[in-house]
């Protein structure tokens, strides 16, 4: 702006200040009440209960907040939970998370009036950013044969489970089905991902397809690759654990809003969890055990856990494409006794106390 313009502007301002109120235009009041955001129509209030068959096999039972023994599904549904996430491994070393167990759990979930969210790991064990081992049955296959295997296997499991939501791969930051499908071999990874999506569309066209990324660091690049390469999916899914993905919920909201705006797709927090204590209820080392892993505003107390989850829910609902959340390890209590070294590594983050009683945090499942 030049000197002449500044002089003119000063004169205008001075005139405006000396004019009578009847001559001056009425100021525009600040918008302190912006229009409310319309929440996502099918907002997920979910819980991952993949450990439940293993936990129940040890004779573990659960109680609601009134000390009444009930099925976990009943307890969560009564609080407003609407979706249950189930992990599927290809050929695990035991029956847990194998297809027969997942089909049985899916049947039970539907009978309880809840939706099924199928999390396909495409591995015989845990798949995450540091592990994406190809199932033993598919080892040594060419890319072409691996694509066929993904397609046929996905069709088979979708037909058997008949889920409402399908996650193609778990935390696929580094790709899937290593070594062939590593993210560094982007074309291979995209091709494998597309085969899984194609199978879902053919068998269950009404099911929603999710692609799952751990955290938000590099998520913008990742989801841009899916858009650039025309991957056919419905919802972005991320994991958010403060100890790994950042301690600022303000930053998380900014990142979520940015991903939604850039990709014009709904976003779900597919995994989150938070402790109600830093104590232990068995001799198994826990994932989280000290205050440096916490957000200071949310201490490791039952109320701190509850308030953290309510804050996560609130920030998602502030965006019309915030599609919901799913709590991980809700039922993973210390199910093998107080001295077990092969029990739960997250009993202090379950939604049930050390006497397996419902915690206040289940209030997060209420609608709205």
Active site (catalytic) residues? 171, 271
Distant-in-sequence, close-in-space partners of 295: CB < 8 Å, separation ≥ 6:
242, 247, 249, 308
φ and ψ at residue 210, rounded to 5 degrees:
-115, 145
Distance CA 267, CA 290 (A): 30
Instruction: Please name the residue ranges forming H helices in the chain.
Output: 3-18, 52-57, 72-79, 99-111, 143-161, 186-203, 219-228, 242-245, 249-263, 302-317
* Segment (H or E) for 214: strand 208-214
171 dihedral zone (left: phi>0; alpha: psi -120 to 50; beta): left
Residue 346 DSSP symbol: -
Distance CA 199, CA 182 (A): 21
Residue 22 DSSP symbol: T
CB 218 within 8 A of CB 251: no
Distant-in-sequence, close-in-space partners of 43: CB < 8 Å, separation ≥ 6:
316, 317, 322, 323, 324, 367, 368
């Amino acid at each position: 702006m030049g000197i002449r313009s500044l002089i003119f502007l000063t004169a205008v301002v001075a005139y405006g200040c000396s004019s009578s109120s009847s001559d001056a235009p009425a100021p525009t009041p600040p918008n302190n009440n912006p229009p409310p955001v319309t929440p996502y129509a099918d907002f997920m209030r979910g819980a991952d209960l993949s450990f439940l068959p293993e936990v129940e096999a040890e004779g573990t039972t659960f109680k609601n907040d009134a000390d009444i023994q009930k099925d976990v599904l009943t307890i969560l549904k009564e609080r407003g939970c609407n979706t249950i996430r189930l992990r599927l491994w290809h050929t695990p070393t035991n029956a847990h998370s194998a297809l027969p167990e997942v089909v049985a759990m899916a049947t039970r979930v539907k009978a309880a009036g809840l939706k099924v969210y199928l999390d396909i790991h495409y591995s015989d064990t845990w798949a995450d950013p540091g592990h994406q081992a190809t199932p033993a049955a598919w080892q040594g296959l060419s890319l072409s044969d691996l694509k066929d295997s993904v397609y046929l296997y996905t069709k088979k499991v979708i037909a058997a489970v008949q889920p409402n939501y399908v996650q193609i791969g778990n935390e696929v930051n580094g790709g899937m089905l290593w070594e062939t499908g590593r993210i560094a071999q982007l074309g291979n990874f995209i091709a494998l991902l597309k085969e899984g999506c194609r199978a879902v569309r053919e068998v269950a066209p009404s099911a929603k397809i999710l692609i799952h990324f751990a955290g938000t660091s590099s998520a913008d690049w990742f989801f841009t690759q899916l858009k650039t390469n025309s991957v056919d999916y419905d919802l972005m899914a991320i994991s958010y654990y403060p100890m790994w993905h950042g301690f600022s919920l303000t930053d998380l909201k900014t990142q979520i809003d940015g991903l939604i705006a850039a990709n014009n797709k709904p976003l779900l927090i597919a995994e989150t969890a938070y402790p109600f204590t830093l104590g232990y209820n068995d001799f198994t080392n826990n994932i989280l055990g000290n205050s440096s892993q916490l957000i200071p505003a949310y201490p490791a107390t039952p109320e701190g856990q509850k308030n953290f989850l309510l804050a996560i829910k609130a920030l998602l609902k502030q965006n019309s494409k915030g599609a919901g959340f799913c709590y991980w390890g809700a039922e993973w209590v210390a199910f093998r006794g107080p001295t077990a070294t092969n029990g739960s590594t997250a009993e202090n983050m379950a939604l049930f106390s050390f006497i397996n009683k419902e915690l206040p945090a289940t209030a997060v499942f209420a609608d709205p």
